[in-house]
A and B are shown apart, each in its own frame.
Chain A
Amino acid sequence: MLSRSLIEDVLTAALSTGGDFSEIFVEDRFNNNITLKSGNIETALSGRDFGIGIRIFKGMESVYAYTTDFSKDGLLKTARNAAQAIKGTGIIRPAPLVHESFPTLHPIQIMPQEVEKARKIAVMKKASETAKGYHSSISQVTVRLMDEEQNVLIANSEGKFVEDKRVRSRMAIQAVAVRDHKMETGFYGPGAHQGYEFFETLNLDHYANEAARMAVTMLDASPCPSGKFPVIIDNEFGGVIFHEACGHGLEATSVAKNTSVFANRLGERVAPEIVTYIDDGTLLNEWGSINIDDEGEKARKNVLIENGILKGYLIDKFNSRKMGMESTGSGRRESFRFAPTSRMTNTFIAPGKSTPEEIIANTEHGIYAKYMGGGQVEPATGDYNFAIMEAYEVKNGKIGKPLKGATLIGNGPKTLQLVDMVGNNLGHGAGMCGALSGSIPVNVGQPMIRVSEITVGGTKGE
């Protein structure tokens, strides 16, 4: 993408004012995005992202610059301008670049750029027809298909020189159901670190029917009661609650600054013994999987909480300096426009022993969250909030009527302590996670779990 000698010149220019580390990230990405609404293709967009990010460290200072100007003069100017922010003595020369190879953990079979849009559209139409045909109350179905091929080159003054190709594919199905002036939506968005083969092997009927079923079911939902209840959260995207409530607090971004509630607590009990929490970028072809992170470190499996004991954090290169701990292959960024920082990949609660049937049968009166919506957390306090997309009442050990407008609020570390049952049906769900270094693909996951008490905010009142 750029010549090796130019990269060396840029890394050298970046260190010209006394920086102790410089890095270049070159990105060349091809995107396709197609939207089908009510059976018709409404938009078809394609494009090429291209740019270069340059990062310099000096001790605990970090400078980042990026540009879309790839000329030699433009790049050297960007590197020198960035270096102006560093005032050091003694100039270090970058180490000679050594091309590093690594195993391709996530093989790609069919490159999306090589597949005609008409073929992609055929798959979308099938999903749309399936969802529309689910029930007469489905008034509209929107299907979006996204694919991307991201080529990156990462080199740094320590001699690292790696290249990687990341290919991702995702389909998002949204169904709207209408009856008697009531309108509800259902959504499913499976994705993978895979090429076009993902759509060919995807169980389209399942996802399309589920999106439609969700919308139709919610038409009959009653307003959710407010109060404190035992809450059962099902697998797959249900894991979003621990992504927000724990995952973000385990990222070095907030741990290194001591603003996380989990800072300085390694080795302490932070959860009941039944809870093991893992971040694993190596899971085969999963949406959040990576071969290497955006600093060129190999993907790995990081056990964060083991049998309730805090074992580790997610650490990027810069924060590893601050914390005096090794990088965990967790430096990620949306694009060349962002300096990387510690982020999650595929994060999940490991499976336990209870069957889903046992968990429900053991719950006298509570809320069952079948599908979670999104949420957010303030890492400093651990306070979170989440929407439940499809909720049910649980009464006398049985799933009862559907509920709408349910929000869960609470404090992450406290909620973690209250997990009292962990199921055996581990599943992962695809999502986009937004934070300091932009919006990146991640999986959240868990088996069905039960929390003995969460505050539920509903529309019904007490």
Chain B
Amino acid sequence: MNIQEFQTRLFSEAQTNGFSDIEIYFEKKEVFGCQVHNGDIEQYELAEDGGVSFRGIVNGKMGYAYTEKIDEASIPFLLKNATENASVIDDEYIEEIFAGSDRYEQGNFFSTELNEVSIQGKIQFIKDVEREVLAYDPRIVATDYCMLRSESITKTLANNKGLTLTDQINYMYAHLLAIANNGEETKSAFEFIMTRDFNSLNAKEFAKKIAEASLSQLGSKNIPSKEYPVLLRNDAAASLLAAFTANFSAENTQAGLSALNDKLGQQIANPKITIVDDPLLEEGLASRTFDSEGVASKKLTLVESGVLQSLLHNQKTAKKDQTITTGHAKKDSYKSSVKVGPSNLYIQPAAASFDDLVAAVDEGVFITNLSGLHSGTNQVSGDFSVAANGFFIKDGKVQYPVNLMTIAGNFYQLLKDVQEVGSDLIFPLSPIGSPSILVKSLSVTVE
């Protein structure tokens, strides 16, 4: 049974079973991944993946169910479960099936050339990277997570209000952890690249970047634990922003879980901060021409010069706040219900070069990596206390690596305490991006 036959049968039986509005969303994904270790292929992954999400209104309420098995027997399974799920929902706001926007942008998130790169070519590249990293310096003793992955995804949404939409996206990324040891200490560094243009990749340059990143951490010293000005490198700043992005969701403000509730029009950040969400970004990991309800994608400014301009909305949260959807309905996958979430969300880059940012610090800490963000952050209060790697800055110059640190502070306070924003916007294998940012002060504890 192909997906077209499945859809036709499902829609017809859903109507017979009392569903009025009906939607089907399906994903199809092709994956290639390979991981190498000491020149051998350690993992090799090929996949054809996908599934179908069904939702529909029955007895005045929305019910959901999904399946990865496309067969005859799945149709009654979906209808029975969606009906039962609808019957237990208490929400007074009913989700709606969307009839369509006036106009949809043309997406440019798919490269035919990328899909034609040979598997051999991809394997050769990642092997070259590993070899170059290990050969770079005798102090580089091992690598780990040395892998390349490419994905090609097709998403289709169709409903019985006449809407049929399809998006296609593909990308390739590679990453590696290099482990350096100087006889006294072991340090590691993780770097990645992501692209849609395979020919732009240069194994030697990438290897050099990773090798340098791990070597530069050797020879770490202690500094006194206290409050320091902190320069968050672009990828570290992006990972911190990602940990608190849900606070911009109207779902969280309406549930009383975000301190941005009632802050529209207010100054929530330093005027140097502008935050946007751009679903149409060509190089974005979360790029799309329509959201999970079928609403047309467009760029949205959330924070402009420090002032909160908008939250992220889907149809339901917009109705509750008596506004219109911003096109940020989001399903994590066909297994999920429609929630609210960002697409490609980032802090807008400014003019300062990275060197300018370092030069602006008399005495401070430069953070290159944060870990433990899933556990060391309190989404609701904005408090965070997370492990960090980085360097000591003195008199406008990066001096030496610092032993393992924690940095602690509060996200909302940090937004206000931003002193400078860099020009080096990056999306660290994530749809949430940032340039490097200089923060007035955070509490730094050194092991």
Spell out A's residues near B (CB within 8 Å): 28, 31, 34, 37-51, 60-70, 74, 78, 81-82, 85, 116-118, 121, 139-140, 176, 178, 182-185, 224, 226-227, 254, 257-259, 337, 339, 373-376, 378-381, 383-387, 404-407, 409-411, 455-462
Contacts and interface: CB of A to CB of B under 8 A. Distances in A.
Given A44-B89, A45-B337, A117-B85, A457 B188 contact: no
Given A139-B256, A339-B45, 9 more contacts: A48-B77, A60-B40, A65-B47, A66-B47, A376-B371, A380-B179, A385-B386, A409-B445, A457-B408
A115 B300 CA distance: 44
Contacts of A34: 88
B250 to A, nearest CB: 14
A220 to B, nearest CB: 14
Contact of B225 (A48, A68, A461): A461
Nearest to A44: B85
B383 A45 contact: no
A49 B334 CA distance: 11
Interface residues of B, number: 76
Nearest to B41: A61
B298 interface: no
A116 B81 CA distance: 11
Nearest to A58: B41
Contacts of A118: 88
A45 B335 contact: yes
Contact of A183 (B66, B381, B408): B381
Contacts of A70: 69
B165 to A, nearest CB: 22
B71 to A, nearest CB: 8
B376 interface: yes
A41 B336 contact: no
B385 A387 contact: yes
Contacts of A63: 41, 44-46
Interface of B: 37, 40-51, 63-70, 74, 77, 81-82, 84-91, 119, 142, 144, 177, 179, 186-188, 224-227, 255-257, 259, 335-337, 371-372, 374-378, 380-381, 383, 385-387, 404-410, 443, 445-447
A254 B142 CA distance: 11
B91 A45 contact: no
Given A41-B89, A62-B42, A387-B376, A257 B385 contact: no
Contacts of B82: 46
A47 B376 contact: no
B406 A385 contact: yes
Given A385-B376, A459-B409, A462-B225, A43 B337 contact: yes
B188 A407 contact: no
Contacts of B67: 47-48, 50
B90 A42 contact: yes
A182 B177 CA distance: 40
B68 A458 contact: no
A226 B142 CA distance: 34
A226 B256 contact: no
A385 B370 CA distance: 10
Contacts of A387: 372, 375-377, 385
Nearest to A261: B186
Contacts of B405: 409, 457
Given A386-B375, A457-B385, A459-B383, A78 B65 contact: no
Contact of B68 (A62, A68, A405, A462): A68
Contacts of B376: 373, 375, 385-387, 407
Given A42-B90, A117-B84, A67 B380 contact: no
Nearest to B74: A48
A227 B40 contact: no
B385 A459 contact: yes
A381 B385 contact: no
Contacts of A40: 90-91
A116 B85 CA distance: 10
A67 B49 contact: yes
A380 B85 contact: no
Nearest to A59: B40
Contacts of A227: 225, 445
Contacts of A254: 144
Contacts of A184: 378, 380-381
Contacts of A41: 88-91
A376 B376 CA distance: 10
A408 B385 CA distance: 9
B43 A62 contact: yes
A407 B381 contact: no
A458 B385 contact: yes
Contacts of A64: 43-46
> Considering the complex of A and B, which 8 residue pairs feature the smallest CB-CB distances, nearest first?
A457-B406, A374-B375, A385-B387, A40-B90, A47-B66, A385-B372, A50-B69, A44-B85
Contact of A459 (B186, B408, B446): B408
A339 B77 CA distance: 29
A391 to B, nearest CB: 11
A388 to B, nearest CB: 9
B226 A462 contact: yes
Contacts of A121: 88
Given A46-B85, A65-B46, A140 B255 contact: yes
Nearest to B42: A62
Contact of B381 (A140, A182, A380, A457): A182
B49 A339 contact: no
Given A140-B255, A176-B257, A405-B383, A376 B372 contact: yes
Contacts of B42: 60-62
Contacts of B50: 68
22 contacts: A42-B91, A45-B85, A46-B81, A48-B66, A50-B69, A63-B41, A68-B51, A68-B69, A70-B69, A116-B84, A117-B87, A184-B380, A226-B445, A339-B45, A380-B186, A386-B376, A407-B387, A409-B447, A410-B404, A456-B445, A457-B445, A458-B385
Contacts of A226: 225, 406, 408, 443, 445
Contacts of B409: 459
Contacts of A85: 41, 44, 46, 119
Contacts of B255: 37-38, 140
Nearest to A70: B69
Contact of A257 (B37, B69, B188): B37
Contacts of B81: 46-47
B178 to A, nearest CB: 10
Contact of B371 (A48, A116, A385, A411): A385
Nearest to B44: A63
A458 B408 CA distance: 7
A407 B386 contact: yes
B152 to A, nearest CB: 15
Given A47-B335, A404-B383, A461-B443, A78 B48 contact: yes
A66 B375 contact: no
A65 B408 contact: no
Given A44-B89, A46-B81, A50-B69, A82 B406 contact: no
A188 to B, nearest CB: 16
Q: Which of B46, B70, B224, B256 has the most CB of A within 10 A?
A: B46
Given A67-B48, A117-B84, A257 B142 contact: yes
Contacts of A62: 41-44
A391 B380 CA distance: 18
Contacts of A376: 371-372, 374-375
A46 B64 contact: yes
Given A85-B41, A176-B257, A184-B381, A49 B336 contact: no
A461 B337 contact: no
